[in-house]
Chains A and B, each alone.
Chain A
């Protein structure tokens, strides 16, 4: 029994009750700011809510109807999918390649790894502003360099509906490579060297070793990175808000940008909540699907 303090105090902090005490603050926070809100979002999605009057009128499924017939919302869904399919393979591939290259000794290995990783800890706002500057149409360094190299009729980058999303993807990938790299490096270092040695003795080529040893043994890591990256990609906001605000002509409108716009620019909190719930449903399904795929993969 602990010494000191009143009997109640000693009881509360004894082995029996201490865990509840320890969990309590976090549990309370989660209850108030995560669990209750997800239900409230559900409720709000059926209301027309005025931010000024702080009251909601029940409108049933009207909000869902409104967003599902809103071509901006549909565009935000397709854009987010396009973004995900663009960014995730790019960042995973680049991260894997760098990790493979760094897995063995090179001079300045620690320094190189640090530099590749640094963008991950920088602020997306700063990075977006810098890239917006680099890609300024006609005047930015990218355009002037390409012009100097002889290219003509350059697109206006973030002002061109075909290029805007590509630039957003590029920026996101640039920033995320380091994170994937670290995860893949950890996974690679979990593969013991003797496996490769044995394979080499058996006459395996580099490519065969990559295909038959490295990648299969990396599978848990790869799937983990995949899940994280996909969910992250669906939540994209900062760079879109700073670089394009969803434009030009909705070319970069993403789901979260749509939610923000609905709530704070169109003052339709009910519709914003409906859109948020759709996002939640998508993430939930994706997560469960990928865990299922992971389980299946494990059994194989």
Chain B
């Protein structure tokens, strides 16, 4: 008993000491704005928040190391952002001034931070004419209201990825040109074959990321999630409903898994396990698949109605609003976006470089045949998607749609569209 009390007492003493030590250490590292740690050499530390899969981490870290070698006075702390739970805290992190200086963001988050004023306008920081080499289409989502909040890093294009073995078994050949891409009806026939003789449980792994990707066939028929001009829901328009009915047909025909749009559904794992014959992925799927099933996958176009469609987006580099070292942060961004590093990054992530001078010049090694098809698909990216980002309240629409798309499976398309429209309008017209 005496021992326990002493343990408690000692723990308390340690506790108090530790607490004071921790809070004082925090105070010395969090300098007041503008001041540097040591007055003699102005060494600066900036934080770089990066996300991605482990295979890409090496490339990312390599770039940062190269940067630090060229800029000995700038120290970069590389932070690997976890996937779940981080994005939603980004806003609060910026608000409490605890966000990293430089962030690698998806295009969507780049736009959002910019629109909410949480990211720095990069125009003042960059040299004149800096953006001339960049594909103008890619700049729109990270450049609301004419300011530039993000520098595009890579251009991701969505296509269908299929399992070569299953296709061979079922005697199915994938289309190689956009004109010969399947119609949705043809695709469902293909699905029948793939499930009957190909050995797949489900023909199609429908995209389970951003809502616009999930409902990508909306954009083929002139539909969309919101009406850009009126800023209200467009899901109940005849064109949109037509697209929704196609998804329902896929579900009713049992060509897609019933839990496709739930948090547990692991699209990539299902594909590598052979449960799914083809899925809506993109160039970002290639490297992980090469690791899991080398050479056993191919790419083709998303079915056409009447033309094929794709979703084009990518990642951007942004600098957060309250960064204490914006100039140094810009230097890092500039470095990572230069031609050499962009090429490296495009090879590592098998993505299309946003610089016009680099397009068509990146060597993708084994991915070359796939990338040439993907480059064609990129031309069919819907611009409506980028415009939708800019509708006020879009972030709420995005969150809400991610939650509600799964309900489409179990009710008539019109009813679903009407119910969801109510919520969409609440978000866009507060």
Contact = CB atoms under 8 A, between A and B. Distances in A.
Nearest to B398: A265
B259 A51 contact: no
Interface string B396-411: 1001000110110010
Interface in A204-246: 243-246
B118 A265 contact: no
Interface residues of B, number: 29
B259 A248 contact: yes
B429 interface: no
Given A245-B263, A264-B88, A159 B95 contact: no
Interface stretch (A39-47, A134-142, A188-196): A134-142
Given A156-B262, A160-B258, A52 B116 contact: yes
B258 A249 contact: no
Contact of B273 (A66, A139, A244, A264): A139
B391 to A, nearest CB: 16
Given A137-B259, A138-B275, A247-B403, A52 B88 contact: no
Interface in A251-286: 261, 264-267
B373 interface: no
Given A52-B116, A137-B259, A264-B88, A250 B403 contact: yes
Contacts of A250: 403-404
A6 interface: no
Contact of A159 (B94, B259, B407): B259
A51 B264 contact: no
Contacts of A160: 258-259
A185 interface: no
Nearest to A136: B264
Contacts of A52: 91, 94-95, 116-118
Interface in A84-102: none
B261 interface: yes
A54 interface: yes
On chain A, which size bracket covers the interface? 20 to 34
A159 B260 CA distance: 8
A139 B410 CA distance: 24
A180 interface: no
Nearest to A138: B275
B71 interface: no
Contacts, number: 73
Chain A contact surface mostly: loop
Interface string A118-133: 0000000000000010
B407 A249 contact: yes
Contacts of A243: 263
B265 A159 contact: yes
A156 B258 contact: yes
A51 B98 CA distance: 14
B262 A51 contact: no
A111 B258 CA distance: 43
A266 B89 CA distance: 11
Contacts of B201: 138
A159 B92 contact: no
Contacts of B92: 51, 264
A159 B403 contact: no
B375 interface: no
A137 B259 CA distance: 9
Contacts of A138: 201, 275
A180 to B, nearest CB: 28
Contacts of B399: 261, 265-266
B358 interface: no
A128 to B, nearest CB: 12
A245 B262 CA distance: 10
Contacts of B264: 132, 136-137, 156-159, 244
Interface in A1-50: none
A139 B271 CA distance: 13
A246 B403 contact: yes
Interface string B86-107: 0011011011000000000000
B257 interface: yes
Contacts of B262: 156, 158-159, 244, 247-248
Contacts of A66: 426
Given A156-B259, A266-B396, A249 B89 contact: no
A248 B91 contact: no
Contact of B95 (A54, A246, A248): A54
Interface of B: 88-89, 91-92, 94-95, 116-118, 201, 257-259, 261-265, 273, 275, 395-396, 399, 403-404, 406-407, 410, 426
16 contacts: A51-B92, A51-B95, A139-B273, A156-B257, A159-B263, A159-B265, A160-B259, A161-B406, A244-B264, A245-B263, A248-B262, A249-B404, A249-B410, A250-B404, A265-B399, A266-B399
Given A137-B257, A247-B403, A264-B89, 14 more contacts: A52-B91, A52-B95, A52-B116, A66-B426, A132-B264, A136-B264, A156-B264, A161-B406, A246-B403, A248-B262, A249-B404, A264-B88, A264-B91, A266-B396
Which 9 A-B pairs give the minimum distances between C-beta atoms?
A159-B259, A159-B262, A156-B259, A248-B262, A249-B407, A264-B88, A265-B88, A249-B406, A248-B406
